[in-house]
Amino acid sequence: MQRRVNVIGVGMTKFAKPGASDDYHVMAAEAGRKALADAGIPFDDVEHAYTGYVYGDSTCGQRAVYELGLTGIPVVNVNNNCSTGSSALYLARQAIEGGLAECVLALGFEKMEKGALGAKFNDRENPISQHVGVMADVQSINASPPAAQMFGGAGREYRFEHGTKKETFAQISVKARDHASRNPYALFNEILTLEEVMAAPEVFDPLTRFQCCPPTCGAGAAILCSDDFAKKHNISNPVYIAAQSMATDFASTFEEKSMIKMVGYDMSKHAAEQVYEESGVGPEDVSVVELHDCFTANELLTYEAIGLCPEGGAEKFIWDGDNTYGGQVVTNPSGGLLSKGHPLGATGLAQCTELVWQLRGQAEKRQVEGANIALQHNLGLGGACVMTMYRRD
């Protein structure tokens, strides 16, 4: 019988711009110590560690964990692109659920450089060249970062299919900055107007600069444990993982000539369906979501992929305010990747931290009233999507 997995400690650093952060092991140690203090346990109680990062040597996880203690425990290094942090969380959950350990650490960190996401495809490698229906001119393609090309191309495809206004995508950034203004851990706290988002330099239609997540440095951590461990340490009514799923690409990603499919729509949809089935709750039961808004186009597409609104209904969902406070479900109360920042290895664990705070009622000015079920969506192209459902009964 599978065991319940509890999240008893979380912690993260304030996210920073490249060149303005501590070294990776310093940030990781800060997040780890915060999570241990939050759980109220010493590092000696941790039996396994799963460490996630994208830019680094093969044993950076050991360098980070050794700052917390030298206890000889297994340390597993994880790299799954932008879903790395949640992939570490996924492995940590499996260790508890399968009875391999009673208490484990999931740790994610990244020290990025300026322009880290800006490498360009050449024409031969460029996947957009396969999708003429959503192409911009060649000069624009060659001038844009590849991730912006793919997610922007998906936004163009959606816009042409549904007649969606460019302003609809931009409104997601307005919402993100409004939420981030209440988050002391976010990289960008300044509120933006719709006019400011629209007037920013275009990166790739329909995306302007303020609709693209920035390279970021930071760390996040979570302590997971079994019910027996929680009881032994007098931890009552903890947040627990009600369901979790990881999905990778389907043939449709590459065969259907769709940029929407290429950027992970089917992965997200499948992972969400598995989580809803396993947890026994649906999207209508969720009160707060942290989803992977690396670009505004992906947030819009994800609303539909994970069932927050019907297919083709994202524009109405956005303008009705159903993605924010007072609406149907609060999406990215942290500010999301767009405003909180996106240190690749840390992102999934920062999402976990925010949702645990929300379910505990500890999110301060960002608190979603009455939150007791939370959903996490973390996507990495290449690809992997991790969905996690949290509850506090």
Query: Could you write out the DSSP letters of every residue in 301-326?
Result: HHHHHTTSS-TT-HHHHHHTTTTSTT
| CA–CA separation, 140 and 189 (whole Å) | 30
| CA–CA separation, 294 and 83 (whole Å) | 11
Q: What is the pLDDT of residues 179-194, one digit of tens each?
A: 999 999 999 999 999 9
Residue from 311, 278, 217 nearest 23 by CA:
217
Where b means 16+ CB within 10 Å and e means fewer, 162-174 reads eebebbbbbbbbb
Residue from 143, 138, 173 nearest 155 by CA:
173
Q: Which residues are catalytic?
A: 82
Helix (H) or strand (E) holding 140: helix 138-143
DSSP symbol at 269:
H
| CA–CA separation, 27 and 23 (whole Å) | 6
Q: What is the pLDDT of residue 146?
A: 92
Rounded to the nearest angstrom, the gap between the alpha carbon of residue 136 and the centroid of all alpha carbons in its chain is 28
Query: What phi-psi label fits residue 364: left (phi over 0), alpha (psi between -120 and 50 degrees) or beta?
Result: left
Q: What is the pLDDT of residue 2?
A: 83
* Three-state DSSP string of 321-377: CCCCCCCCCEECCCCHHHHCCECHHHHHHHHHHHHHHHHHCCCHHHCCCCCCEEEEE
Q: What is the pLDDT of residues 294-317, one digit of tens each?
A: 999 999 999 999 999 999 999 999
Contact 384, 87 (CB under 8 A): yes
Structure tokens at 314: 């994202």
| CA–CA separation, 302 and 297 (whole Å) | 9
Phi, psi of 245 (to 5 degrees): -145, 145
Residue 27: strand, helix, or coil: helix
Structure tokens at 280: 């026994």
| CA–CA separation, 196 and 253 (whole Å) | 34
Q: What is the pLDDT of residue 117?
A: 53
* Residue boundaries of the structural domains of the chain: 5-114+215-391
Sign of CA dihedral 384, 74, 241, 42: negative
Q: Which CATH code fits 5-114+215-391?
A: 3.40.47.10
Q: What is the pLDDT along the chain (393 residues), one digit of tens a residue?
A: 689 999 999 999 999 999 999 999 999 999 999 999 999 999 999 999 999 999 999 999 999 999 999 999 999 999 999 999 999 999 999 999 999 999 999 999 999 987 655 543 333 334 434 443 333 443 444 568 899 999 999 999 999 999 999 999 999 999 999 999 999 999 999 999 999 999 999 999 999 999 999 999 999 999 999 999 999 999 999 999 999 999 999 999 999 999 999 999 999 999 999 999 999 999 999 999 999 999 999 999 999 999 999 999 999 999 999 999 999 999 999 999 999 999 999 999 999 999 999 999 999 999 999 999 999 999 999 999 999 999 999
Structure tokens at 341: 């920042």
Q: What is the pLDDT of residue 126?
A: 41
Q: What is the pLDDT of residue 250?
A: 97
Phi, psi of 133 (to 5 degrees): -65, -20
Q: What is the pLDDT of residue 118?
A: 52
